[in-house]
Chains A and B, each alone.
Chain A
Amino acid sequence: MPVTSSDTMEIRTSDDIVRVRQKVRDLAVGIGLGLVDQTKIVTAASEIARNTLDYGGGGTARVEVIEEGFRRGVRVTFEDEGPGIADVTRAMQDGFTTGGGLGLGLSGAKRLSNEFSIQSAVGVGTRIMIARWKSG
């Protein structure tokens, strides 16, 4: 899948979450995503970025514009080298939390994205990809 723009950002503090949000918003506006779609992908990115910070102990976010055939989209890939998630299936359920939150982060971000994938290994880290396509 062709990638037409790619930026990798550090996630070390909660200021970085704001920066990731702004970057994702810029790219989403750039490819002409509608306002609701922009808001969805920015919110999803915010959720995962906070997970990366809070549970992964920080990491990176790679923010990209991708192309497939005639459509374009925004893809964000988060990587951390934190403790990892032991039971990914369970972590994806609404209400699952280890951090005292509402447990909507992962499942909510998935609902807000057109594409979502997660790989995690205990003691190695977690990688989460979200993407939203411009329809039509």
Chain B
Amino acid sequence: MDRIPILKMGSALLVTIQVDMQDRLAMALEEDLTTRIAQTGARGVLIDISSLEIVDSFIGRMLDSIAAVSRLLDARTVVVGMRPAVAITLVELGLTLTGVATALDVERGMALLGERIAGAEGFDAGDIL
């Protein structure tokens, strides 16, 4: 089965979701991310969903639980690039993903991760990312 690639950048993991995800692919991603965070000691996870045309409750739940699991493993999660139509639909669906941090694009997402990690550690963001 196909898997979504996870890239490592500094102490952050970067995932770009580019396909209309089938449920098993989403579950595999959650598992893979958990393993990689533990293996690499990553402090941040950035998930770029700018290519996704829909996020239903299943994908929404996956994002929520990735954020929750990462938190337990001491990593912050930022979801970036959600499209307006997707955001409106998710809200209408009743999902607001309150546990997930968001940013407009990858650049801002990385900056946000940098701040959060630095904030938690008392480092300068530049040292980490």
Contact = CB atoms under 8 A, between A and B. Distances in A.
A and B touch in the complex (CB under 8 A): yes
A104 B94 contact: yes
A120 to B, nearest CB: 20
A104 B22 contact: no
Contact of B92 (A21, A50, A94, A112): A112
Given A18-B22, A22-B20, A40-B92, A102 B57 contact: yes
Interface string B26-68: 0000000000000000000000000001111110110000000
Nearest to A36: B85
Contacts of B55: 43
Query: Which of A22, A108, A111 has the most chain B CB atoms inside 10 A of its CB?
Result: A108
Contact of A39 (B23, B88, B95): B88
Query: Which of A15, A35, A43, A107 has the most chain B CB atoms inside 10 A of its CB?
Result: A43
A25 B89 CA distance: 14
Interface of B: 20-24, 53-58, 60-61, 84-86, 88-89, 92-95
Counting from the closest, the 3 A-B pairs by CB-CB distance are A14-B23, A108-B93, A39-B85
Interface of A: 14-15, 17-18, 21-22, 25, 35-36, 38-40, 42-43, 46-47, 50, 94, 101-102, 104-105, 107-108, 111-112
